[in-house]
Structure 1
């Protein structure tokens, strides 16, 4: 994977951070993008200390101008971006009866429109190279539903549908598009913010492998989907959830 360049969104912490570090370990130059620039720089420092190449980038995925500027900066530094990990997103828990339009709009603006914007900005690099990997991080909540996350589950369900459609659109250009729906992953911003809502023992008992996930579990699948070895895999949902969702 030498001479490849990846952009990982939401990469200052959690799953995005783990994906950025793993891709860099595989020899890929990585754009570490997030609203938290200090967090991005800390990830870049870690990657560079291990001998990898990375660049810290600050942008909102829902702002096309910011994404275009970040993409141009990354491309100038390391070359065309042919691997994209759409990890950035937002999540919260709101009972359906209390859900307001502003909550719905914000969730879809970031999780769905943001994913669309970043992908549309980056894909021309992949088309020029006739090789590319788009890896969307969705959620197992889109598969199973979540009783206090109607808006979140809907947004991630849209990401899964977008994945399938983009796979059909971009396959002719040598680009694969897949998604990973994590399940019960700890050590992320979302899990830490909402830890008080869950009983860890109950979560573990509901998972066949009898443990909670960690960001590195997702990063391993991401690295495979980014590689040449996965070239005949596209439009797929690769569940990394310890068996929580079996389908």
Structure 2
């Protein structure tokens, strides 16, 4: 499915990101660049996959991104797939949300996506091919109490994606941009939540369970692959029916 493809995935050390990297690598990608700030976890995550290159990088550091993308271009001359998966939360009701919490979430979840896409999209357009998949959330489409910063960034990436779908293809390049919007998912971010909260999440979801990283990777894999070659500017909700 990804034969001869060069892929870049952020937030790759664990959870959804790690599953996406493994999926691309196991489905024939020539190379998957797995980006994350957690070097210790990242270095141990893909030891058995020769076509994965773990790289410790801060997506908020534009200079580091420019160096990385230049190296990929020198090595392979292209990027076929970009998955903007990295994201953080700093939840609080708005009257208790600090400016630092706002800035940190916006920098990683919104500016980081902008930084990497801005660096890679021109290469895709020059090569007349590319698929960009950005991780949004049902919080970005429908909001949530105590997540003003997170909702703003996840709604923001949807707006950017729709603009990119028009901008990147305006001269005929087959460069697509889409979003995946997960619901409640079993990840390291939710692992420490009280059982009462986890049960509440399951009860709110019509399919009666939380999603798994594989569930989300299925959606990303589809949108990243040529199976979705006529789909762009869309938001795919993978949420078990949570938001209907």
The normalised TM-score by structure 1 is: 0.92
- Residue matched to 1:2: 3
Task: Verify: 1:213 aligned to 2:211, yes or no.
Answer: yes
Q: 1:92 deviation in Å?
A: 2.3
Task: Verify: 1:178 aligned to 2:178, yes or no.
Answer: yes
What secondary structure, in the 3-state scheme, does the structure 1 residue paired with 2:126 have?
helix
Correspondences of 1:36-51 after superposition (within 5 Å):
36-48=38-50
Give the helix-richer structure, 1 or 2: 1
What secondary structure, in the 3-state scheme, does the structure 2 residue paired with 1:94 have?
coil
- Residue matched to 2:149: 151
Work out the CA distance in 1 between the residues paired with 2:187 and 2:211: 9
Q: 1:224 deviation in Å?
A: 0.9
Correspondences of 1:190-229 after superposition (within 5 Å):
190-192=189-191, 195-196=193-194, 199-229=197-227
Deviation digits for residues 206-225 of structure 1, max 9, x if unmatched? Answer: 11111111111111111111
Deviation digits for residues 135-164 of structure 1, max 9, x if unmatched? Answer: 000111112211111111111110111111
1:88 to 86, 89, 98: 86
What secondary structure, in the 3-state scheme, does the structure 1 residue paired with 2:134 have?
strand
Work out the CA distance in 2 between the residues paired with 1:183 and 1:4: 29
The structure-2 alpha-carbon separation of the partners of 1:124 and 1:138, relative to structure 1 and needing over 3 Å to count, comes to same
Q: Is the 8 A contact 2:91 2:97 kept in 1?
A: no
Q: 1:37 deviation in Å?
A: 2.0
Structure 1 unaligned regions, length at least 5: none
- Residue matched to 1:130: 128
Work out the CA distance in 2 between the residues paired with 1:152 and 1:196: 21
**Aligned positions, number:** 240
Work out the CA distance in 1 between the residues paired with 2:167 and 2:20: 25
CA RMSD between the two structures: 1.6
Q: Is the 8 A contact 2:162 2:178 kept in 1?
A: yes
Q: Is the 8 A contact 1:32 1:44 kept in 2?
A: no
What secondary structure, in the 3-state scheme, does the structure 2 residue paired with 1:245 have?
coil
Work out the CA distance in 2 between the residues paired with 1:208 and 1:101: 36
Structure 2 unaligned regions, length at least 5: none
- Residue matched to 1:98: 96
- Residue matched to 1:11: 12
Q: Is the 8 A contact 1:137 1:179 kept in 2?
A: yes
The normalised TM-score by structure 2 is: 0.93
